[in-house]
Structure formats: C-alpha cells, structure tokens
Amino acid sequence: MPEDKPTGSQGNDLRHVCIIMDGNGRWARKRFMPRFAGHKAGLSAVRKIVSSCVEQKIEALTLFAFSSENWRRPKQEVGLLMELFATALTREVKKLDENNVQLRIIGDLSAFPEKIQTLINKAIAQTADNTGLVLNIAANYGGRWDITQAAKKMAYEVQQGRLSAEDISEETLEQYLSLKDLPEPDLFIRTGGEQRISNFILWQLAYCELYFTDILWPDFSRKEFQVAIDSFRSRQRRFGRTGEQLNNSINKNEQEQK
C-alpha cells in the first residue's frame, strides 16, 4: 500500500478543491427574478472563490459549471448559459492571466457550438504557461463520461499494442482521466442544500472529504468558503488506517522534531 498519503489529524494539506455550484435558480426565484439572474450572480461568487484560492495558494480548483445532464433543461436556459459561458471566457481570462491562473476546461467539448470551442481554445492557450492555481471548469462534464472516455482510450492503446491488459492498474486508468496530472481532490463542496453527487467527479471521490451547505451558490462568500476549509482541516483523514495509528505517528513525528 502507498505510504505517502497524508496522515495528520489536524491541519490537513489542502491542495485541490472541487465544487458543485448549485442553487443559482432558487437564489433568483427567491428574489422574483428569472433563473438566469441567478447564473449571472453565480459568476460573481466564482470570482471571489477563485481569488481566495489564489491568495491561499491552493494548487487546483475544479468547478462544476454544466453537467452532461444539464442539456435536459429548457432550451432557453441552456442558450443563456452558453452565452454566459462565452462572455465569461472573453471577459475573465485577462484577470485570470494576471493572477497567474492556468485555465482548463474539462468535459466533452465536442458538443459545444463552434464559437464556444474557439473561445475555449483561445482562453486555454492564453493561460497555458501560468504556474499558479489550476482552474478547471467542468463543462458538459460527467463523472461517468470521464471514466468511460478513459476506458475507451486505454482500449485503443491495447488495440495498438502499446498497452497490455495485464498491466492496467488503478494508476494506469488515472493517467487517462481529465484531472490526471493534478493532486487528488481533497475537499468536495456542494452548495444549495442537496446531498448528492449529480455525476460530478466519481473516481476521485474515493477519499475526498465531503462538505454540504444549504447556502445557495450566489451567496457563497469567502467567509463561507473558509468555514468549509476549517471543517476540512479539523477532520482526521485515515485512508483506511485506525485513529490510533495516526495519533501514534503524529506523536512520533513530534518527538523527532524536538
């Protein structure tokens, strides 16, 4: 078994945060506004959380913006979401670049209108050399899609004779997933009160810490983000070991440092 997993009971390292940004529609409805107003307000919350991650030197932030299933929404809402995505890709990239943020978009991008695909490629190219926060926007993303596309790519490699079926391990499969070269997600946050995964990252949830809040996404502030982080830091990540094992290893480390 790998020995290199974090073992501390306090002050866990937070390298990668994943968020399901839910509750935009309800936020708007509460104000007698169209659902779209909630999506627009949600973009302001994105700015705040991105800058908080930059300040805290978190390595990666993955935001669920549009799921594989969200195409089922009314045509008008899907259209407005696409427009908002296009506007954000045009207007936000400069600031991301100035903050050394590397933007990536994960998901099945082939389903997007060509105009959006062009904007995506441009935005990705513009920030590709940045070395700070990696911001993944999950768009037309589904956890099942991700595992399926990984399996497909591996099958192709086997077919081509570049990979043998016997050699496939968890580590091999991971190399084909969308978040392949990033630290494993540590903290999963869902706003908006629902306690479900809705086909967001699946593989990586294996040992991710889950945090659910009733706060609707447009109201999710830096302060609320800090509450989630504090909750994460106070947890004991055991990765299958016992609490005693971890406490003993912490005591041992403390002794060695004295």
d(CA 15, CA 179): 13
Cross-strand bridge partners of residue 105: 137
Binders of Mg ion: how many residues, by CB under 5 A? Answer: 1
Single-letter residue type at 220: F
Contact 192, 218 (CB under 8 A): no
Q: Which of 104, 6, 30 is nearest to 61 (CA)?
A: 104
Site string for ligand IPE, 5-24 (x = CB under 6 A): ---------------xxxxx
Least Å distance, CB 120 to ligand IPE, is 17
Question: Which residues lie closer than 8 Å to 196 by C-beta, 6 or more apart?
Answer: 190
**Residue 161 CB: number of other CB atoms within 10 A?**
7
Q: Which of residues 84-123 bind Mg ion (CB under 5 A)?
A: none
Q: Which of residues 165-194 bind ligand IPE (CB under 6 A)?
A: 192, 194
Question: Which residues lie closer than 8 Å to 206 by C-beta, 6 or more apart?
Answer: none
d(CA 202, CA 178): 12
Q: Catalytic: 181?
A: no
Which of the residues 70, 99, 130, 199 is marked catalytic? 70
Give the interface segment with Mg ion, choosing from 20-28, 115-123, 166-174, 231-239 (CB under 5 A): 20-28
Our finding on whether 26 is near ligand IPE (CB under 6 A) is yes
d(CA 141, CA 86): 17
Our finding on whether 67 is near ligand IPE (CB under 6 A) is yes
Our finding on whether 65 is near ligand IPE (CB under 6 A) is yes
Q: Catalytic: 247?
A: no
Binders of ligand IPE: how many residues, by CB under 6 A? Answer: 17
Our finding on whether 22 is near Mg ion (CB under 5 A) is yes
User: Can you give the binding site for ligand IPE, defined by CB under 6 A?
Assistant: 20-26, 64-67, 70, 81, 192, 194, 196, 198
Residues annotated as part of the active site = 22, 70
